A = this chain, B = another copy of it.
């Protein structure tokens, strides 16, 4: 069995991935209980995942309806899963974060001929693991609080 990393180390690793990765798997569900899953570009703004997708898409419609979302990155052997509320972003009010999104992806959804919506997934919980021995302590954020910022100093891990 591979030696598990501490929850502190995995919290830091999850933040690193959120800052360095450019897209994530985003799950959504219809009101009648059909699941959907697509990869979407995102920007981590330090506290939430900013996404953009056509306003008429199944994903946009269902995320906004459900008011909660679940996303995962980067792969099944280095897992980070986010769960939390979904909010629609007004790009006029939050022009700075939308411009940061456009700069990061060299793609500005505001310039598309199709209407795009900006959506924020605010993680309330985050799980991070890569080996089975880490599953028992896979929760690295709970109630919006990072494990390593609420559980004391790393020296205590």
Residues of A within 8 A of B (CB): 23-25, 27-39, 62, 65-66, 68-77, 79, 81
Contacts and interface: CB of A to CB of B under 8 A. Distances in A.
Given A28-B35, A33-B29, A35-B29, A23 B76 contact: yes
A79 to B, nearest CB: 6
- Point out which of A31, A33, A76 has the most chain B C-beta atoms below 10 A from its C-beta: A76
Given A29-B30, A30-B33, A33-B33, A24 B76 contact: yes
A148 B25 CA distance: 27
Contacts of A23: 76-77
A25 B76 contact: yes
Identical chains bound together, number: 2
Contact of A75 (B27, B62, B74): B74
Contacts of A68: 34-35
A106 to B, nearest CB: 12
Nearest to A77: B23
A71 B30 CA distance: 16
Contacts of A72: 25, 37, 39
Nearest to A29: B29
A72 B37 CA distance: 8
Contacts of A79: 39
A29 B34 contact: yes
A34 B76 CA distance: 21
Contacts of A77: 23
A38 B37 CA distance: 11
A66 B34 contact: yes
